[in-house]
Structure 1
Amino acid sequence: MPTDAERACFEAGIKFGSLYHQFAGTPVSPDSAASLGRAMEEAIENQPYCVDVAVDVRTDRIADELASQSAEYTELTGRFLDVEMLIEYEGVTVRTRMEMAGDYPLMKLVAVEE
């Protein structure tokens, strides 16, 4: 049987998978970034054991992307997101973060507190 800490970490992974794969490819522009970030937060916070989600849709990176193309929007990818989550399961708190590691959006455990 998994420990409560292992289960809390599993729940964090489920939340990240859901967040990333549900919203990847969504059309986004600097004007729509804030509302998309709030929608992502609210959607994931509906899931069990999720206490808090903070999504920063990086408008600076979106603007850089748009500067090299003629369209007024681009597709959401991990390079446009900074995400932090707080998961609580049976007295265990898991803090997570997604940020770019080079050119890869890395999802990682920051802390597991029992």
Structure 2
Amino acid sequence: MTTDSEMDTASPTDAETACFEAGIKFGALYHQFAGTPVSPASAASLERAIEDAIENQPHCESVSVAILTDELDAAIDHGYTELTGRFMEVELVVEFEKNRVTARMAMEEGYPRMRIASVEALD
């Protein structure tokens, strides 16, 4: 077990904190909106709602959500379906203490994979 004094000497870097913040945004995005009823007709407004909600969080500079309407349409058999990671591509940008992290979510081997795309120091 790590003591508080041991944790103090291993404080995360600002870049690591920015990456953590990106993970927090993805956790909120996915678990807040997964299961939302969606159809091709409502996809654009849901994209905007997700973007607006996540951009409210601290250090979030931008969020871009694309609901894949072709895949969505193929999955619908009764007017709508539930939103899951297989129907979304997401990019978000977090800035924290002169660090910018870009993170993306897309399907990878049947799983909605969320990963860090880049970490850059800002001047």
Report the TM-score when normalising by structure 2: 0.89
Helix, strand or coil: the match of 1:48? coil
Deviations 1:80-112 (A, max 9, x none): 000000100000000010000021000000000
**Is residue 12 of structure 1 aligned with residue 22 of structure 2?**
yes
Q: How does 1:39-58 map to 2 (within 5 A)?
A: 39-58=49-68
1:45 Cα deviation from its structure 2 partner? 0.2
Shift of 1:61: 0.6
Pairing 1:21-32 to 2, within 5 Å after superposition: 21-32=31-42
1:95: which partner in 2?
Answer: 102
User: Percent identity at matched positions?
Assistant: 60
Q: RMSD across aligned C-alpha pairs, in angstroms? A: 0.5
Does residue 1:78 correspond to 2:85, yes or no?
yes
Poorly superposed stretches of 4+, deviation over 2 Å: none
Deviations 1:1-57 (A, max 9, x none): 110001000000000000000000000000000000000000000000000000001
Find the structure with the greater CA-based Rg.
2
Question: Unpaired runs of 5+ in structure 1?
Answer: none
Provide structure 2 residue ranges, at least 5 long, that are not aligned to the other structure.
Answer: 1-10
Any idea what SS the aligned residue of 2:57 has?
A: coil
